[in-house]
Amino acid sequence: MIDIATDATQRLRAALVEVTLRRARGFERSVTLPEPIDRWLRSKLGPMVQGLFTVYERDCVLDALAGGIIFLTPHNIVDVLTTEPWLSTAWRLANLYLDSLGAQRLGSQAGELVGLSQGATCYVSLAYFDQTDPFADYVVREAAHVLHNCRRTAIGLPERRHCPMPLDIAFHQRETFAYACEAYSRIVAMGRDGESRQTALERHKASELPPDERVDHGTYLAILEEAVRARNGWRCIAKRCAPP
């Protein structure tokens, strides 16, 4: 029975790869990933890591986060679909890839996603580069999720008995934490001083807020208000989202 199950999985995976490549044929994107991609990711994720971790932990955390971001491209999609342990996840990744090309999906129920996280790995669609919202950054948001979803040892940090995760974030605040980190990263990029960051926050208030029912907009904006005024806004966000 194990042999039969293994053979069935291999056949399903081979069929998934074949159909994905067939539907992608004839669709092309002109998006070129930033080069070198590792340096680009580190510059994007560096401020969050520096703000949330001690000098002794930063390099380890940044290595793990930058190394865990995988953009789905024609060059790696076969490897990704072949090596992904879970067939259900491979199916969703195939749809992410086909969506980014404008090709037909594998199923009508596939959701509108920019990426997908699993453990310490974040798969990101090339649709990421189509984003026009100045306060959106899916890479930062999903990296923030990694910090409370995986164990410390999974990203190279020593175990801690009182908190096995890199950050202690209350379960009901996890989406708020990730969205706040995303927006704050953009606010920091727009202004170096308190006044310019406050101006950026006012722009954000007038724009589209997180379209997620798990995020209370009042709490979310209050956290960002406090972060903009704080000396270390990242620590402020983590503290506001920690368990009582």
In terms of domains, do 61 and 109 share one? yes
Q: Are residues 30 and 90 in the same domain?
A: yes
- Residue 137, in any domain of the structure: yes
My answer on whether 147 and 202 are in the same domain is: no
Render pLDDT for 156-178 as a digit per residue (tens, 0 to 9): 899 888 889 999 999 999 999 99
Arithmetic mean of pLDDT, 201-223: 94
Nearest to 68 by CA among 7, 154, 151, 3: 154
Given this model, what pLDDT does residue 161 score?
Answer: 80
pLDDT band for 240, please (50, 70, 90 cuts). Answer: very high
Q: Name the average pLDDT for the chain.
A: 91
Claim to verify: residue 116 and residue 219 sit in the same structural domain = no
Query: From the CA atom positions of the chain, what is the Rg in Å?
Result: 19
**Do 55 and 26 share a structural domain?**
yes
Is 203 inside any structural domain?
Answer: yes
Examine the fold and report which residue of 123, 151, 179 is the final residue of a domain before the chain moves on. 151
Confidence of residue 79 (pLDDT cuts 50, 70, 90): very high
pLDDT band at 14 (very low <50, low <70, confident <90, very high): very high
Enclosing domain of residue 122 = 1-151
Indicate if the pLDDT at residue 216 is higher than 80.
yes
* Domain shared by 43 and 95, yes or no: yes
Residue-level pLDDT at 133: 92
Residues 1 and 111 occupy one common structural domain? yes
Domain stop point among 120, 151, 182: 151
How many domains are contained in the chain? 2
Query: Tokens 């290595």 label which residue?
Result: 63
For residue 124, what are the CA distances in angstroms to 11, 92, 202? Answer: 26, 12, 29
242 DSSP 8-state letter = S
pLDDT band at 93 (very low <50, low <70, confident <90, very high): very high
Residue written as token pair 């980190």: 181
The confidence score (pLDDT) of residue 23 equals 94
Establish if 158 belongs to a structural domain: no
User: Burial level of 109, CB count in 10 A (0-12/13-18/19+)?
Assistant: exposed
Q: What are phi and psi of 213, to 5 degrees?
A: -70, -15
Boundary-marking domain end, from 151, 180, 198: 151
Residue 164 lies in a domain: no
Residue 113 has pLDDT above 90, yes or no: no
pLDDT computed for residue 175 by the predictor: 95
Please state the pTM of the whole predicted model: 0.89
Query: Are 61 and 175 in a shared domain?
Result: no
Asked if residue 142 and residue 181 are part of one domain, the reply reads: no
The residues that bridge with 115 in the sheet, in sequence order, are: 124
Number of Cβ atoms within 10 Å of the Cβ of 63: 15
